[in-house]
Amino acid sequence: MIKIIIFADCKSAHTARYVDVLAREIFAVDEILVLNTRNESAVRNDVKIVNLLAFYKKVARPEKLPDKVLFYASMCFAFFKAAYLIRKYKPAYVHALRLQYEGYLANLVSYVHKTKYVYSIWGQDLIAYMLRPGHSLMLRAILKRASVVIADTWRDYYIVAANSKKRVRAYVMPANYGVELKEYDINGLAQKHGDDEVRVINVRYPGDTFYTKAADMLGLIERTEDKNVKYLIDTKVANKAAFMFKKQADKLNKKNYELYLDNTRAEFLELLKKSHIYLSLTYIDGFPISLIEAVQHGLIPVLSKYMPVREYFIEGENCFYVDPADTDEIIRMIAYIKSAPELRKRMLKNNIELLGKFQYMKNISVLKEILVADSRE
């Protein structure tokens, strides 16, 4: 039987679904220990484990998670705490999910204890990490030692191939959290676009790139004359840059935006429910999980031309691409989408079909084969 330790942000729906699928679908796995690594998580100590379990129950399947899944709260990148748990549980695999910091921690503890580890980079921007000296060194160390690396775009696949040696590498599709397509009512999703007001959600600014995007967003707020267009700006971080942005936006004396600072996941999903257009102003980015969630909620994607998602999202069929610095182009695109109900309905239909390709079990099929093979040895 096999034990797995997963380093992850336990607040993430991606983590919840991943753990749920691993626990239910891979019967060779005897035990899964989930270590929460993110300081911003609502779960900050062992006492609040009940909060984490409640969160998983909401995001993952409603029935009780298997007893093989255990939780340990708030690692906060604590190497010695992680090393202790590795010694205690003696896992066959250490799995670092999504973030390079988790990969770094998994790399350290697995190296010390001679344990295999898997590194998944779904939704991450490896180019951005490669451009930062410290992150670049960290990422190369992770990639060189990983037993398996799972990437979600061809661009990331090539970065992995160039920086790893004699390792198993996998290129897989992004996940849709295992949502069944029968849950979707295209006509119902189309009806949400019948309002006069169009709400454009600009999703998930990471803190260190907020400065580069804030000017583009300010330009949109200032130059949008249509009073029925409102921008919902989800910053994810309540940092100095976000407050400076609000100060500058308030000077414009415009009523066409709302700024959401460090909102919870539940609040973010509510934003998606009341939005019509998903807008990306990024210059370098991976495959954002929020894009798939936006499609699930019936939003029309208006994406930065720099996003590496063209192998899935085709111009005019699944989305529209814009230059994030060209304010006039974005405003014209929003007006065009607003005035074309048949186009919106066709794009919604195309995107629901696209979701069918993002099958979750395909994403972990490589890992599943390895675990099953190991269990037979």
pLDDT value of residue 43: 39
Alpha-carbon torsion (34, 36, 41, 45), positive or negative = positive
Tell me which range, 15-24, 61-70, 245-254, is most confidently predicted by mean pLDDT: 245-254
Q: Please give the mean pLDDT across all residues of the chain.
A: 74
Within 10 angstroms of residue 220's Cβ, the number of other Cβ atoms is 23
Whether the per-residue pLDDT at 185 is higher than 60: the answer is: yes
pLDDT attached to residue 346 = 92
Q: Which tokens hold the place of 41?
A: 């998580």
pLDDT of residue 308: 83
CB-based contact 140:163 (threshold 8 Å): yes
CATH number for the segment(s) 2-178+359-376: 3.40.50.2000
Please check whether residue 34 is in contact with residue 72, taking contact to mean a CB–CB distance below 8 angstroms.
yes
Contact 203, 299 (CB under 8 A): no
More confident residue, 137 or 315: 315
* Residue range 154-166: mean pLDDT, rounded: 77
SS3 161: helix
**Looking at residue 233, what is its pLDDT?**
85
Helix orientation angle between 327-338 and 210-223, rounded to the nearest 10 degrees: 60
Q: Could you tell me which of 109, 169, 179 has the C-alpha nearest to residue 143? A: 169
Mean pLDDT on 65-76: 60
Provide the pLDDT for residue 321. 96
Give the whole-angstrom CA distance, residue 61 versus residue 295.
20
| pLDDT for the residue numbered 122 | 66
Task: Please answer whether residues 295 and 301 qualify as being in contact, where contact means their C-beta atoms are separated by less than 8 angstroms.
Answer: yes
Closest C-alpha among 69, 74, 68 to residue 105: 74
Q: What does the pLDDT look like over 84-113, one tens digit per residue?
A: 777 777 777 777 776 666 777 777 777 777
pLDDT digits (tens, 9 = 90+) for 23-50: 766 666 677 777 766 654 443 334 344 4
Can you give the pLDDT at residue 105? 73
Indicate the fold that domain 181-357 takes in CATH.
Rossmann fold (3.40.50)
Query: Is the per-residue pLDDT at 79 higher than 60?
Result: yes
Contact in structure between 155 and 127 (CB atoms under 8 Å): yes
pLDDT at 332: 95
Edge to edge, the sheet with strand 148-151 lists: 69-72, 29-36, 2-8, 93-97, 116-120, 148-151, 168-171
Q: Which residues contact 94 (CB under 8 A, 6 or more apart)?
A: 4, 5, 6, 7, 86, 106, 109, 110, 115, 116, 117, 118
Q: Are 301 and 282 in contact (CB under 8 A)?
A: no
Query: Which value, in Å, is the radius of gyration of the alpha carbons in the chain?
Result: 21
Lowest-pLDDT range, 57-71, 86-100, 114-128? 57-71
Q: What is the pTM of this model?
A: 0.75
pLDDT of residue 209: 54
Higher local confidence (pLDDT), 1 or 296: 296
- Whether residue 176 has pLDDT greater than 50: yes
Report pLDDT for 33: 73
pLDDT value of position 335: 93
The pLDDT of residue 247 is 86
**Banded pLDDT at 229 (limits 50, 70, 90):** very high
CA–CA separation, 324 and 307 (whole Å): 11
Tokens of 179: 């949502």
C-alpha 137/C-alpha 362 separation (Å) is 30
pLDDT tens profile 233-275: 887 666 677 778 888 888 998 989 988 876 666 777 788 888 9
- Which amino acid is present at 218? L
Q: What is the mean pLDDT of residues 207-211?
A: 51
The two three-digit tokens of residue 77, written as one number:
């990148």
Q: Where in the chain is the domain with CATH 3.40.50.2000?
A: 2-178+359-376, 181-357
Nearest to 5 by CA among 28, 36, 26: 36
Angle between helices 154-163 and 133-145 (to 10 degrees): 80
Q: Is the pLDDT of residue 230 over 90?
A: yes
Burial class (CB in 10 A: 0-12, 13-18, 19+), 169: middle
Sheet holding 257-260, edge to edge: 257-260, 229-234, 198-202, 277-279, 300-304, 320-322
- Exposure b/e, 77-93, CB count within 10 A at least 16 = b: beeeebeebbeebebbb
Per-residue pLDDT at 161 exceeds 50: yes
State the Cα–Cα distance between residues 259 and 273, nearest whole angstrom.
Answer: 16
Q: 319 or 364: whose pLDDT is higher?
A: 319
